[in-house]
Each structure stands twice: as structure tokens, then as C-alpha cells.
Structure 1
């Protein structure tokens, strides 16, 4: 399913980080839904959720799903991309298409960007929804690979694989595409999902096409300097994650609740790190809350 079938159109917006490609809903509504993918994806990560919303007849605010600089169809950023620069790029897209107030939804590392938007734009951010957000356990695994890797071995293994792939010709992307086309990538991506056999094959193909090993490694390097925001976030924050998410630490929710207002976590059985693909109806239910 492409953007046209979802009622979206492709736009290119100039930002301080370089041109950013996004898919935006029709109309001139000032209230929007900003969708931010994680370090291994693009706007297409949200297709299962948007497709489920259309199937179920669930109205959504005007959608703006971005490809962050260096991911998807957006070219490499013209300056180093940290969470602040990524947040600025997303806000630039929102303003360019006329969205002035928003709910922002971030998956995985995109959750860090979502919180950064809430800090920078408190009067425009009505709510933040985190989907399998990057939390203290992942940050610890990046900063202290031995200790943190023992606690989150699947994430440590993926980060190592991305580092190896980024050193290959083409940054490892030709190999990932080939694995995606043959179906072999499903085995390697297995830790991301609770039940790989139940995942739409297109999701796995998109994973092979959209993953940028070098961008993943750069994002991890930048994330090593992150700290969870404190009272700078003023809006309510909701979180949803799969019950079998191997990239979430046992104490992550407690750490988020300590610093984020109105934080509440929903755990979805039968889903892994990509609940937005495995259980999109559950993510929509959190959006409806």
C-alpha cells in the first residue's frame, strides 16, 4: 500500500538539516499527527497502523509522517544529526504544511525525537505517544557495551551487526536489500518481532529496503549523549510496547514515570519491538485514549 492509497501525498520540505521528505494527509487542518520512525526504518514503518485505521474507520488527525534526514527518501543531513536537529526538521515539516498543534508519536529512537519536540515546542505539543521507546537500558548498552550488552544482548547484537554492515560496500544496503528480497532477512530480523511468521511479508521487505546501517550507527553514537528530559516536558506522555520487546529494559517504565508527567505504559501481548506492525490496533487504542 503506497501513500496515495492511504490518502497521503509526498512533499519535500527544506530544513536546516537539508531537504526532508514526508507523507502528509490532505486538507488544511491545523491539528496534526506527527509520526517519527526509529533508527531502522522510514515513514513506511507506520503503514500497518495507518492501514488498520482506514480499515476500522478510525479518523486520525492530519498525518505528517517524515523520513528523518539520512533515512528513507531524505538525503544525508548537511550537519551532524542529533535529537535536537531531528526535532527541528520534523517541526519544520509541520509548519510548512500548516500544522500548528500536534500529537507526536515516536517509535524506538523516534521516541527520543518526539520528547525533544515536546521540550522545544511545549505550547504546540498536546500529547506524546511513545511506541517501544529507546530508554535507559538501550542507552546503557550503547555507552557500556559489556555491562549493557549483557542486559540487552539482542540490541547489542544488532548494533554490532550494523557496525559490520556499515563497513561493507554501499554501507551494507545492497546486502540488506538482497536478503529482504530472498526472505532471509526475516530470520535476522526475528528478534524484532514476537512472531515473525505472522508479520506481513511487506514489512520485512521494507525493513531490508529502508534500514541504513551507517545512519543506525551514527544515531546510536548520538544517543550515547542523551539524558531523559525532566520537568521540561509539560504534556501527557503515553507509552505502548510489546510484551516480548527484547529492546526494553525491566526498569525503563519506572525511569520514564519518574521524569515524565502523566506517564502511563500499555504492554501489548503478542508483540515485540514493532507493535505498530504486529498489533497496530493496540497502538491506535492508545492514540484514542
Structure 2
């Protein structure tokens, strides 16, 4: 099998300074929120990156590297660890989208920005779409990586029917619930699997080529796994009317989906297009749930067709 040099080409980087960024902690209702940002504000608009489950701000470093290599380095960026993830606290013990959105916008406003464009992955994409449906938030554009959670919302609301209609999706979703209910023991098993090189077994359905992903990525997933908070975030889907909420979004929406993603399958792209006929949605081939890590170059071009500063 020929080597695919474009698949997972970069390591995840935990050093903000490697990208010209600085760390900061901001006080929110959830407690101290950890973020990484541009050291200086050069304009009124921030680009806010919101990660998914088992991730932190570091998940976006491949995308930052692509922009830098193209001479289009992001300016005025804010990359957060969501409440309960990474170095951020969650003393409220919930992840209700309205409250998380308010906390994020308070952080951005506190940095002096008056508008924002949001880049969201997976759970972070769901939060992004929900924030964008609120007219009170000054969002200029939305950029999603596997972020249209139609299938996940259905799995939350109709678990039995989804198990029969979409067994692969149900397994991918409820595996997180199983880990949450096993407590620390389940997470320790996952971490052990990463240490002995078997973590790719857990990536079937999530990555297109589980055995080809970089060890820095699997190490990050194992270290930052928070199954409890996945369930807290998924609770937003209970009684949630995605069609009604997301049809209210007025700003431009750019979205990419992995052709081999089992958690947010390609049909979610079709559903998003039904809700927003003007959405710029693209399917990335030979890619799973982590397009910004698996195919960062193609993902960058599709999410930011005019470049990072457009």
C-alpha cells in the first residue's frame, strides 16, 4: 500500500510559544478557563477555536501550522480549553450550551474583541452552531469540522431506533457512555492501551487510518479523555430541535465532514444543507472524525477559502 504523505502530517504541539501564542486563565462562572491567544490584539474580530471531546486547544495546532506554512498565519486567535477539559475547571458540573456560550463570549469580550468567527470541532461544532443561532452573539462566520450533530442528537433522543438504523454510530456514541460509567478504571484501560501501542483499536470509526495517526495524537486523546463531559455535552441534545435552532443562523457557514466518520456521518452534511441551503459544505475523502488533524491542508483550504485573514 503506498504511503499517504498527506494523512496526519503533523504532530500536535503543546507549546503555545511554538505558534507565537501566550497562555492565559480567565475567570468565568465555571471557574478558571484556560486559553491560548495571540499576544496582541490587532483588530476587533477574534477567531475563536472550540475543540471537541477528548481534545484541548492543542488539537488545532496542525491547522495553525498549515496557515503559517502558507504565509497566512492566523491573527487575533483565541483557543480555549472548554470547561472541564485540559487545564480548565468546571465547578458547575454541566455543559449547557447557553452557559458555555456566554462564558466563551465573555472571555473574548474581555480581551477587547467586539465580533468573532468561530471554528468548532465535533462537540465544539455543536456548541458553535447553538451560539450562532443566538442573535445576541456577534458572530461573523462559522467554520465546522464534523460539527453538525444531527445524528448524535437523534442518538440522544431516540437511542433504540438509532441502534437499529445506525449501529456503527450508536456504538461510537455509547462507547463514551460506557467509559463514563466505568469511572476511572475505563479511562485507565484506554491510557494503558495507548502506552502499549494498541490505542488505534479504539479509533475504528473515528479515524480513516487508525494505525497511521501520529503518537502525539493518540497520546493526547488518551490523556485528555473526559467521557463524563461528553455525556454532559450530549445532554444538550435532549429535546433539542436542531432544524429550528440552526435555521435561525444568519452568518456564513463553512463545514467539512469526513467521508469515513461514523459519529458524524456524511448524511449529516446532507441534513445541514437542507437546513441551510447556502452552507459551504464539503466532504473530505479518506478522512474520519478529525479532518483538521487527519487532512489539515485540505481542511484549511475548505474552511478558509479566502485565507485565514479573510
Is residue 2:232 matched to residue 1:225?
A: no
Aligned length in residues: 289
Is residue 2:239 matched to residue 1:239?
A: no
Q: Which moved more, 1:179-188 or 1:276-285?
A: 179-188
* Equivalent-residue separation in structure 1 for 2:176 and 2:136 (angstroms): 35
8 Å contact from structure 1 (residues 152, 247) kept in 2: no
Cα 1:116–1:230, aligned 2, differ >3 Å: closer, same or farther?
Answer: closer
- The superposition leaves residues 134-193 of structure 1 with CA deviations (integer Å, 9 ceiling, x where unpaired) of 422221122222221234333322333222222334374333332222222221123211
Scaled by the length of structure 1, the TM-score of the pair is: 0.91
Give how far 1:284 is off: 1.1
Scaled by the length of structure 2, the TM-score of the pair is: 0.86
The structure, 1 or 2, with the larger RCO (C-alpha pairs under 8 Å, 6+ apart) is: 2
Give the corresponding residue for 1:86: 100
Q: Which moved more, 1:190-199 or 1:146-155?
A: 146-155
Is residue 2:63 matched to residue 1:49?
A: yes
**Structure 2 unmatched ranges of 5 or more:** 1-12, 306-310
Cα 1:92–1:267, aligned 2, differ >3 Å: closer, same or farther?
Answer: same
* Equivalent-residue separation in structure 2 for 1:25 and 1:190 (angstroms): 35
8 Å contact from structure 1 (residues 135, 249) kept in 2: no
Is residue 2:23 matched to residue 1:10?
A: yes
Give the corresponding residue for 2:202: 188
Give how far 1:247 is off: 2.0
Give the corresponding residue for 2:111: 97
Give how far 1:208 is off: 0.3
Give how far 1:121 is off: 5.0
Is residue 2:292 matched to residue 1:271?
A: no
8 Å contact from structure 2 (residues 95, 229) kept in 1: no
Structure 1 residue runs of 4 or more that deviate by more than 4 Å after TM superposition: none
8 Å contact from structure 2 (residues 96, 233) kept in 1: yes
* Equivalent-residue separation in structure 2 for 1:225 and 1:51 (angstroms): 39
Secondary structure at 2:133 match in 1: helix
* Equivalent-residue separation in structure 2 for 1:206 and 1:53 (angstroms): 22
8 Å contact from structure 2 (residues 51, 59) kept in 1: yes
Give the corresponding residue for 1:286: 302
Give how far 1:106 is off: 0.8
Give how far 1:79 is off: 5.2
- The superposition leaves residues 9-63 of structure 1 with CA deviations (integer Å, 9 ceiling, x where unpaired) of 1111111222211111121122221111112322121122112222332222321
**Structure 1 unmatched ranges of 5 or more:** none
Cα 1:26–1:182, aligned 2, differ >3 Å: closer, same or farther?
Answer: same
Secondary structure at 1:141 match in 2: helix
Give the corresponding residue for 1:58: 72
Give how far 1:203 is off: 0.8
Secondary structure at 1:272 match in 2: coil
Cα 1:224–1:28, aligned 2, differ >3 Å: closer, same or farther?
Answer: same
